[in-house]
């Protein structure tokens, strides 16, 4: 695992946007399709603004560009929340990234994928059918989750089984609900369930970059830095990945 310290949020956003652009450009230049795993939340807002501008300036043909988002909220009927819902991650991605990409570049809205609460494991099959993820972008929850793969007590699951978790519906941790309520300013607006890409698909990505820019992320990052891998800290499984990187901001996070 590679650890990269940057000065602040802007520097982190610029660095990551450039890396994603490079992955997209390199694959497309060889006539290949490219699959990027996307994340949401406050951490990614500036990154997506920068990336949209970089893609427009590069004038790449994006017909072969596909995105696979980590997760989506689930409504009371066990279905994905509707795209028009203010908390929908599909709405987030359109409003933060896709609406700002020049339509003439040929990105197809049908190549923007999200896990489906009514058939979660089919998402893993789709990723495989598309050739796997070339790059996976991640944030880290204050409790150490990645995507919505919440911590599970080591007494309940082995590390091997946790690493093989397929895409699935999850009951959200109380800390996750409290944290995500910041986006809505209303605890009651945050669903208690979500459908998430599983650990197996995440860890099978060819490259993973995790971003951290909140002081509350210091504690889980320090556990990862100690080398401990545990289902009680899902992000620690990146230690097993052959090409993972954690980028963190020095103005908010000081690691041991």
pLDDT tens digit string along 162-202? 999 999 999 887 877 777 766 554 556 778 899 999 999 99
Mean pLDDT within 191-216: 96
Q: Is the pLDDT of residue 48 over 50?
A: yes
101 and 55 in contact (C-beta within 8 Å)? yes
66 and 35 in contact (C-beta within 8 Å)? yes
CATH topology of domain 2-249: Rossmann fold (3.40.50)
Predicted pLDDT of residue 188: 63
DSSP 8-state code for residue 185: T
> ∠ at Cα 140 (249, 42), nearest 5°?
70
Q: Is the pLDDT of residue 155 over 60?
A: yes
C-alpha distances (whole Å) from 31 to each of 1, 46, 65, 135 are 30, 29, 11, 17
Q: Is the pLDDT of residue 46 over 70?
A: yes
Helix, strand, or coil (residue 98): helix
Q: Residue 149, exposed/middle/buried by CB under 10 A (0-12, 13-18, 19+)?
A: buried
Mean pLDDT within 36-46: 96
- Catalytic residue numbers? 71, 143, 145, 150
Phi-psi region of 35 (alpha: psi -120 to 50; beta: other; left: phi over 0): beta
Asked which of 35-39, 127-131, 133-137, 191-195 is least confident by mean pLDDT, the reply is 191-195
Q: What percent of the chain has pLDDT over 90?
A: 89
What is the residue-averaged pLDDT of the chain? 94
pLDDT tens-digit readout, 98-122: 999 999 999 999 999 999 999 999 9
pTM for the structure as a whole: 0.94
Q: What percent of the chain has pLDDT over 70?
A: 96
SS (H, E, C) 8-67: CHHHHHHHHHHHHHHHHHHHHHCCCCEEEEECCCHHHHHHHHHHHHHHHHHCCCHHHEEE
Q: At what angle do helices 45-58 and 9-29 cross, to 10 degrees?
A: 40
Predicted pLDDT of residue 182: 63
Mean pLDDT within 126-148: 97
Predicted pLDDT of residue 12: 98
């Amino acid at each position: 695992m590679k650890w990269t310290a940057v000065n602040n949020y802007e520097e982190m956003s610029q660095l990551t946007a450039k890396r994603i652009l490079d992955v997209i450009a390199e694959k497309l230049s060889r006539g290949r399709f490219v699959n990027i795993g996307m994340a949401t939340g406050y951490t990614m807002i500036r990154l997506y603004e920068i990336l949209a501008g970089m893609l427009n300036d590069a004038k790449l043909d994006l017909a072969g560009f596909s995105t696979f988002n980590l997760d989506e909220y689930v409504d009371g009927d066990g279905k994905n929340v509707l795209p028009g819902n203010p908390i929908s991650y599909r709405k987030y991605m359109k409003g933060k990234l896709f609406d700002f990409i020049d339509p003439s570049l040929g990105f197809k809205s049908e190549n923007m994928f999200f896990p489906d609460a009514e058939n979660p494991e089919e998402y893993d099959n789709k990723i495989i059918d598309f050739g796997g993820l070339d790059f996976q972008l991640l944030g880290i929850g204050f409790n150490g989750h990645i995507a919505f793969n919440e911590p599970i007590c080591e007494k309940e699951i082995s590390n091997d089984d946790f690493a093989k978790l397929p895409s699935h519906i999850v009951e959200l941790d109380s800390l996750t609900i409290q944290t995500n309520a910041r986006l809505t300013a209303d605890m009651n607006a945050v669903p208690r369930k979500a459908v998430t890409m599983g650990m197996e698909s995440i860890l099978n990505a060819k490259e993973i970059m995790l971003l951290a820019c909140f002081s509350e992320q210091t504690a889980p990052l320090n556990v990862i830095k100690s080398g401990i891998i545990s289902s009680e800290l899902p992000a620690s499984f990146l230690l097993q990945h052959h090409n993972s990187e954690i980028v963190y901001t020095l103005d908010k996070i000081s690691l041991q």
